[in-house]
Chains A and B, each alone.
Chain A
Amino acid sequence: MILNSAELPISESFTKPTWDEVRRIYRRIGVLRATGRNEEAADLEHGELPRALTAARIQSSAPDQEEAAVFAEEAERLANATVTAEILASLLAERLRLPAVEPRAENPRPAATAATPRANEFPPAPPRPVPATSPTITDLLDGMLSQETAAARTKPRP
């Protein structure tokens, strides 16, 4: 017997990606807001999110409950991620000897190099303390590998 496709039962595997899409957009909005990109967040909130939400609700047997659950879960995830990021940033900064928040040291002669035409090509970065003793090469390599690991973790996944 041939059924019309509209009569086919909607399986879990069909519904999940749609709510997953809602989750993805919701998280993206949270990240954009956390990084101060409010306009982009608003665009998503008033564009992609309602579209994805409508599609998900159509396929859901209990749309209100599912929507509430999805948003609550993602809000919690975002809150946890923010706290984790704060802790991780401090740990990484310590590991890399990069002060998380440290005022910049005064330049020896700021006016002198400000006059150099190309000086602005390389804006200043926060200074780091210099250790008192000679480090071993193995320790230095550990520092290099920590940097590489941190960079790999922060690299966006395709």
Chain B
Amino acid sequence: MSTTSVDKPLPAAAVPANAPNVTVSRPASTPASTPTKTKTVLVGFDFGTNKSCVLAGPPAGHDISVSKVIPTVVGYVKDGIVDGIVAGNRSILFGDDALQNMLHVRLEQPMTHGIISHPEAARDFLKHIRSLADPTGTAEIRAVVGVPANATEQVREDIRRTAFGIFDRILLIPEPFLAALGYREDSRLGQANYIDPVVNSLFVDIGGGTSDLCLVQGYFPVADDQISLPFAGDAIDELLQEDLNRIYPNNGLSRHKVRELKETHGYVGPSRSPVEVKVVIGGKAHTLELGNALARACNALIDRIYPALTTLIQRASSDSVVTLLQNIIITGGGSQLKGIDTLLQKKLVEDGYESPKVKIAGQDYKRYVAIGALKAARAARDNQWQVLLG
């Protein structure tokens, strides 16, 4: 096999002592609902390294009862916090609530590079997702969860183990493929001028932990159709922070602030210096020149993505490659780096590829994986779901 894969088993010490050995069974035909579960709620879940997206709805129709983008972070309230400081005197906070109370909580990130690195936080986070999807706690929850392209069995098993007892049934599907399903405009299928992205496209999903590329050509992608790179938004933040620390020693900028600067000013391509940004350090306003540092950090992503992109293009059949080149779609947080579509397209043209067209997925870039996941959940037959058994 020639693709990069994500393979990092959970550290033994991090696995809860009472963690069950989860096995998966696929029911032949009859559902395994327990009698107490009164209804079924379907969940499409993009379990991202920095941001997650959850959509939920009933099995029939197109209604969406829950649609949220949540920072993937859990805050455990520190001992000794005075009553009333944390709203509702809760002991665990999630997402924005946790970040807003970061002084009073111990922040834990459940995921690193697209895989579960903190099982306890991951379980708490999934319980929170469940409570959003089904506040009554009585429904059978069937969740389609996005996983990095070419996630290994170990990575998948870690997710199943974490989801055991929280979701009743589960399907793990590669994120860029779900993004293609989410991006697909179902109402336009069959129209002469509409190219179905599921039939012939190349998706580049740049998240926080991994950049995932996937050939989507009308069948479920095999391993050779997918490449996952453990270099994405977080790695850019790290490079940027290193550079800023070198240029402006003792700048005191947190990783959170550096990420914010990247999200606001990040770009790829030739240096756009000067990019002057006012920040408050130690209570005083300073102006930092970020132009070159941003270019170095963000272009490092292009250096990694471009070879993977051309590799997948070369793996497409000669019959399909011309149309494929018209349908290269970038999604995920990395799609917001200014100039990324133009630069990749320019590089392809310079390398002689035939009329390539690189597009940004659009405003819903944070939701396409979850939209695709909910569509998959609605389409899955009973016997396609995996039942988590302890």
Chain A interface (Cβ within 8 Å of chain B)?
Answer: 96-98, 105-113, 115-119, 121-131, 133-138, 140-145, 147, 151, 155
B217 close to A130 (CB less than 8 A): yes
- Known A112-B351, A121-B308, A125-B2; 11 more pairs at CB < 8 Å: A105-B317, A105-B318, A108-B353, A109-B351, A110-B314, A121-B4, A121-B307, A128-B222, A130-B217, A137-B375, A141-B171
Cα of A147 to Cα of B261 in the assembled complex, Å:
42
CB distance from B229 to the nearest CB of A (A): 10
Cα of A142 to Cα of B307 in the assembled complex, Å:
31
User: Secondary structure at chain A's binding surface: helix, strand, loop or mixed?
Assistant: loop
The 8 A-B residue pairs with the shortest CB-CB distance, nearest first, are A143-B220, A125-B224, A118-B307, A137-B379, A127-B317, A112-B351, A122-B311, A105-B318
Most B CB within 10 A of own CB, among A113, A122, A138: A122
- Taking CB atoms, residues of chain B closer than 8 Å to A115 are 351
B380 close to A106 (CB less than 8 A): no
Q: Which stretch from B54-62, B159-167, B192-200 is at the chain A interface?
A: B192-200
B219's contact among A105, A126, A135, by CB below 8 Å, is which?
A: A135
Most B CB within 10 A of own CB, among A133, A134, A142: A134
Most B CB within 10 A of own CB, among A135, A136, A142, A155: A135
Q: Interface size (B, Cβ < 8 Å)?
A: 49
B222's contact among A96, A134, A141, by CB below 8 Å, is which?
A: A96
B379's contact among A105, A136, A143, A151, by CB below 8 Å, is which?
A: A136
B83 interface residue (CB < 8 Å to A): no
- Taking CB atoms, residues of chain B closer than 8 Å to A126 are 224, 315
Cα of A156 to Cα of B353 in the assembled complex, Å:
41
A129 close to B199 (CB less than 8 A): no
Most B CB within 10 A of own CB, among A125, A129, A151: A125
Q: A108-B314, A140-B219 are in contact. Are A122 and B2 (CB under 8 A)?
A: yes
CB distance from A138 to the nearest CB of B (A): 5
A–B pairs, 12, beta carbons within 8 Å:
A105-B317, A105-B318, A109-B351, A113-B307, A115-B351, A116-B307, A118-B303, A122-B312, A127-B318, A137-B376, A137-B379, A138-B379
B218 close to A122 (CB less than 8 A): no
Most A CB within 10 A of own CB, among B171, B308, B317, B353: B317
A147 close to B220 (CB less than 8 A): yes
Cα of A151 to Cα of B152 in the assembled complex, Å:
11
B290-332 residues at the A interface, CB under 8 angstroms: 303-304, 306-308, 310-321, 325
Cα of A151 to Cα of B217 in the assembled complex, Å:
21
Cα of A140 to Cα of B306 in the assembled complex, Å:
28
- Taking CB atoms, residues of chain A closer than 8 Å to B380 are 137-138, 141
B67 interface residue (CB < 8 Å to A): no
**B317 nearest in chain A by CB position:** A127
- Taking CB atoms, residues of chain B closer than 8 Å to A130 are 199-200, 217-218, 317, 319-320
- Taking CB atoms, residues of chain B closer than 8 Å to A140 are 198, 219-220
- Taking CB atoms, residues of chain A closer than 8 Å to B321 are 105, 108
A108 close to B2 (CB less than 8 A): no
CB distance from A71 to the nearest CB of B (A): 35
CB distance from A130 to the nearest CB of B (A): 4
Cα of A78 to Cα of B148 in the assembled complex, Å:
38
Cα of A129 to Cα of B380 in the assembled complex, Å:
25
A141's contact among B190, B320, B352, B376, by CB below 8 Å, is which?
A: B376
- Taking CB atoms, residues of chain B closer than 8 Å to A143 are 219-220
CB distance from A92 to the nearest CB of B (A): 11
B181 interface residue (CB < 8 Å to A): yes
B74 interface residue (CB < 8 Å to A): no
- Taking CB atoms, residues of chain A closer than 8 Å to B307 are 113, 116-119, 121-122
Cα of A107 to Cα of B318 in the assembled complex, Å:
7
B28-67 residues at the A interface, CB under 8 angstroms: none
- Taking CB atoms, residues of chain A closer than 8 Å to B311 are 113, 119, 121-122, 124
B2-36 residues at the A interface, CB under 8 angstroms: 2-4, 26
- Taking CB atoms, residues of chain A closer than 8 Å to B171 are 141
